[in-house]
Structure 1
Amino acid sequence: MLNLRQIHHIAIIASDYARSKAFYCDVLGFTLLDEFYREERDSWKADLALNGHYAIELFSFPHPPARVSRPEACGLRHLAFSVDDIDLAIVRLASTGVSCEPVRIDPYTSRRFTFFCDPDGLPLELYEIS
């Protein structure tokens, strides 16, 4: 067994780096830890933290291919964030122009959740833990 300790980070490739950086930092509340331009790749890389914990590497690459489809494509389905109050989170997202799907109830936990998308259509989930 590998004895994995935790997930270190999630890597996201953005079609419009500045737009996605603003979304993850200004809308979702991530903190920009570091940012580098990698000239040999014509690529930006940002290290983003959530509540002080390094979580996302945000990249730009010239002409990245589009995502195959919505969450049912093979591979990463979505990225989920826990929230204390899903209704408040939905209102705050709406105030920035981000719309969420109707709230659903998890049939196994009875917790409420909803989906929304980042600027490139990456499915993101809010999952209420309170």
Structure 2
Amino acid sequence: MLNLQAIHHIAIICSDYEKSKHFYIEILGFTINQEVYRSERQSYKLDLALNGHYCIELFSFPNPPARPSRPEACGMRHLAFQVSDIEAAIRVLGEKNVNPEPVRVDEFTGKKFTFFADPDDLPIELYEV
């Protein structure tokens, strides 16, 4: 058995580094673990943490190709975050000019969830537990 223990991190390539950095830090509330500029690749690498746990690597590269996301393209479908109060989270997002889709209810668990997008249209889900 491989004995995987947890997800270590998720890597995201963005088209506008400063815009995405602002979004993940100021809108979603991640904190910076480390930020480096790799001149040989003309690329930033920003290590982000959520509640003290390192979990996202945000990369910039010159002219990254677009990745199809909708309708249901092959590959990562969305990034989901757990919240305890989805209505409160939606209010906070609204105050920051981020407008999620209407809340839906998971037909199997009865839990509430909604989607919105990051600056590159990566679907992000909030799931209430």
TM-score (norm 2): 0.98
Distance 1:71 1:26, change over 3 A: farther
Q: % of aligned pairs identical?
A: 67
| Distance in 2, Cα, partners of 1:60 & 1:20 | 9
How far does residue 69 in structure 1 lie from its aligned partner after superposition?
2.5
Deviations 1:32-87 (A, max 9, x none): 11000000000000000000000000000000011213261101000000001000
Which residue number corresponds to residue 39 of structure 2?
A: 39
Superposition RMSD in Å:
0.8
What is the letter of the counterpart of residue 122 of structure 1? L
Stretches of structure 2 lacking an aligned partner (at least 5 in a row):
none
Aligned counterpart, 1:116: 116
**1:61-117, Cα deviation, whole Å (9 max, x unpaired):** 000011213261101000000001000100110111111001000001000000000
Paired residues of 2:32 and 2:49 also in contact (CA < 8 A): yes
Is the Cα contact below 8 Å between 1:117 and 1:124 reproduced in 2? yes
In structure 2, C-alpha distance between the alignment counterparts of 1:115 and 1:63, rounded to whole Å = 27
- Structure 1 residue ranges (4+ consecutive) displaced by more than 2 angstroms after TM superposition: none
Three-state SS of the structure 2 residue aligned to 1:92 is: helix
For these two proteins, the number of residue pairs brought into alignment is 129
Q: Aligned letter for 2:42?
A: D
TM-score (norm 1): 0.97
In structure 1, distance between residues paired with 2:124 and 2:109: 19
